[in-house]
Amino acid sequence: MRSSFKNLKSSIKASLTKGGFVVLDGLKRARGFTLLEVLISLGIIAGAYLLVLSSLGGSGNELRRTAQHMIQIIRYSYEQAALNYSYYRLVFDFEEQKYFVEFSSEPFFIVKEDDKAELIRKENEERNQEDDLGFDSTVTNDEDEVIYVEEEAAEAAGQGNFEESEDDFLEIFELPENIQIRDIYVAHQNAPLSEGKAYLYFFPRGQTEFTVIHLSDEDGENILALVVNPLTASVQVFDKEQDYEELLEAQENEK
């Protein structure tokens, strides 16, 4: 038994000695890339990345950085609303081209603008009967009244006991001079907004609103569309304009 073990040990040792250099030589040949090869590969990857950015023009970097920051704020506000069991909203100011976050611990319910407009129309009718108009008495045609009602409904969406967040991460963000918020559609609106203020709400139970945000450079040549999922606040980014009605229809078809 002892002699058998000794013979086996000698056999293994001989095999390792005989094939050792072959194995080591194989490992040597498969040692991986040289530093020069790694640098060349990184250079190729960097070049491809620059080509992608250059497709957006000179403002491509800032446009994507702005979109990335906005996505972070959307996700953070969504998480904070659930974590603190509070109501958060992201305010988009078209005139100042900036956005910031406000919050409220008081319950807040959103009414779709169509419903707001109908309520306001009824109030205006009652005021008309009392000859006490809520708008300039020189306005007499229906088209102007509709415009007034829609503006008032949009303003009503911004009401509520909200205050500016003191969270350092949620400070006011002003867009770079060559980047702009072109228009925004939020589910409680009846059409995209491109002036005044738009509001995206986040609720304590982990919900937000379906939203389509269009960012562009000052010439409008390069566009990024951010589409917000109302259940998860995940954001899809597209490098071309997105039609909110088509997206909503696609969502309905998936149900």
Tokens representing 97 are: 């081209």
pLDDT score at 204: 93
pLDDT score at 102: 94
120: confidence class by pLDDT, cuts 50, 70, 90 = low
Q: Could you report the per-residue pLDDT of 139-174, keeping only the tens digit for each? A: 334 444 444 444 454 454 556 688 888 888 888 999
Q: Could you report the per-residue pLDDT of 72-110, keeping only the tens digit for each? A: 999 999 999 999 999 999 999 999 999 999 999 888 777
Pair 63, 217: CB distance under 8 Å = yes
Domains along the chain with CATH numbers? 69-107+164-255 (3.55.40.10), 111-156 (no CATH)
Pair 223, 182: CB distance under 8 Å = yes
Q: What are phi and psi of 124, to 5 degrees?
A: -65, -40
What percentage of residues in the chain have a pLDDT greater than 70?
Answer: 58
Tokens representing 251 are: 């969502």
Q: Long-range contact list for 74-80, CB < 8 A, 24+ apart? A: 74/200, 74/208, 74/226, 74/228, 74/233, 74/235, 75/233, 75/234, 75/235, 76/169, 76/170, 77/101, 77/170, 77/202, 78/202, 78/206, 78/208, 78/233, 79/233, 80/167, 80/202
Number of Cβ atoms within 10 Å of the Cβ of 197: 17
Please state whether the predicted TM-score (pTM) of the whole model is above 0.75.
no
Q: Could you report the per-residue pLDDT of 48-73, keeping only the tens digit for each? A: 545 544 555 555 788 999 999 999 99
Mean pLDDT within 17-30: 41
| Mutual angle of helices 142-156 and 113-129, in 10-degree steps | 120
DSSP one-letter code for 32: -
Pair 139, 132: CB distance under 8 Å = no
pLDDT score at 134: 45
pLDDT score at 147: 41
* Region of residue 208 (phi > 0: left; psi between -120 and 50: alpha; otherwise: beta): beta
